[in-house]
Amino acid sequence: MITHISTTRLNEKGGSLIALSFLMLVLSVMGTTGLYLYQKYNGVQDDQTSIDQSREIQDAIAAFVSREGRYPCPAPLNAKIDSAQFGKEISTNCLSAPVGTGTFKAIGRGGETVRIGAVPTRALNLSDNMMVDGHNKRYVYAVTERMATIGTDPYAEHGVITVQNAEGHDLSAVGGHAIFALLSYGEDSRGAYDIDGNLITACDVTADAGQNCQFQTTANTPATFVTTLSKNYNKDEKGLEHSYAFAANEIPYRWNTGPWSECDGDCYSGTQSRDVTCRNLNNGEIVQIAEADLNNANKNPCIHTARPQPSRVCGLGPCTWQAGSYGQCQASGNVRIPDRRNCKP
């Protein structure tokens, strides 16, 4: 009897231990899930902070352009927070500013140069904490050098920076014409600088994200940047979660094409032609441009994009012989010869 009671109590203790272990497991899972959700919530909050600050930076850049008549030149990405260069433009003339001052150069549309660095917070009258995004990584600011030079027309001239989505589609109305671009690396640390100007992790040029930091490893890389809204970055994968803000002046002129003509030619191949005109989208006016002025920016307002071809080769297919009716037999000496056969007299 005692043995039975003892055994029952022992079993009850075992049941209590199993229940306690199960409860601890549930709490552990809940704790892990809660931590994950908390981390995701913090990530969303950090992203929102980056978006809000990027808008404030864009407003400050617009105010700078209105005040100075040009865009700001970048600040050094590696300037220490307590240094004299922190948040200051490397020059008021980006075109002549030397490389190696914590900024980098890239090549934009038409071979023009782009300067890449940090946000010049002090030139923009922003607080120093605006140097970094919601993830405490320095924003990357890229600008068309010509537009960040005294003497430019910031409202009429066009930039040379390309900003695309992850599928390779241009985000500006006309590709390759962004004046500046503002990058937030998000959670990705590859190629990013911290608040004190230290490179967190070297740029991985083999990853998708490497396109946004290859200027750090290779001179004169294309000034093409990629942005995406998908947050698919994983430290063990080659993901991409960078986001960009950019600005470009309106380009009201576009090439306009008419329908192709009928294929004109002989057997096998011919040519087709069509009208190609430069049109003002605001009022529909067609600008007459002579062939000799196609490469003259002062006389060709559509020069910002390639002119569509006005003609092309077209195929007609092989020729086939068609026989008509025979004519009357005509005499030639002692033999009468019709069009396609001999005939006897």
- Confirm whether 125 is domain-assigned: yes
Assess whether 153 and 46 both reside in one domain: yes
pLDDT at 3: 29
Q: Are 116 and 104 in contact (CB under 8 A)?
A: yes
Number of domains forming the structure of the chain: 2
Q: What are phi and psi of 337, to 5 degrees?
A: -120, 115
- Confirm whether 153 is domain-assigned: yes
Q: Which of 201, 224, 247 is the last residue of a domain?
A: 247
- Confirm whether 323 is domain-assigned: no
Return the number of other C-beta atoms located less than 10 Å from residue 241's C-beta.
22
- Confirm whether 212 is domain-assigned: yes
What residues make up the domain containing 213? 29-247
Assess whether 99 and 193 both reside in one domain: yes
Look at residue 262 and tell me whether its pLDDT is greater than 90: no
Residue from 81, 56, 105 nearest 216 by CA:
105
Assess whether 258 and 215 both reside in one domain: no
pLDDT at 4: 30
Assess whether 114 and 241 both reside in one domain: yes
- Confirm whether 54 is domain-assigned: yes
Q: Are 168 and 228 in contact (CB under 8 A)?
A: no
Assess whether 184 and 162 both reside in one domain: yes
Look at residue 95 and tell me whether its pLDDT is greater than 60: yes
Q: Which of 199, 225, 247 is the last residue of a domain?
A: 247
Residue predicted with more confidence, 215 or 239: 215
Assess whether 307 and 177 both reside in one domain: no
- Confirm whether 3 is domain-assigned: no
- Confirm whether 240 is domain-assigned: yes
Residue from 281, 283, 293 nearest 254 by CA:
281
Each residue's pLDDT tens digit, 139-149 = 999 999 999 99
Assess whether 238 and 290 both reside in one domain: no
Report the distance separating Cα 7 and Cα 18, nearest Å.
16
- Confirm whether 4 is domain-assigned: no
Residue from 119, 129, 249 nearest 183 by CA:
119
Assess whether 92 and 155 both reside in one domain: yes
Assess whether 161 and 267 both reside in one domain: no
Average pLDDT of every residue of the chain: 78
Assess whether 169 and 89 both reside in one domain: yes
Question: Kind of pairing, strands 268-273 and 264-265?
Answer: antiparallel
The edge-to-edge listing of strands for the beta sheet with 253-257 is 253-257, 276-280, 286-287
Q: Give the tokens for residue 244.
A: 């960009």
Indicate yes or no: pTM above 0.85: no
pLDDT at 333: 55
Assess whether 207 and 301 both reside in one domain: no
Report the distance separating Cα 125 and Cα 62, nearest Å.
12
By percentage, how much of the chain surpasses pLDDT 70?
74
Assess whether 167 and 297 both reside in one domain: no
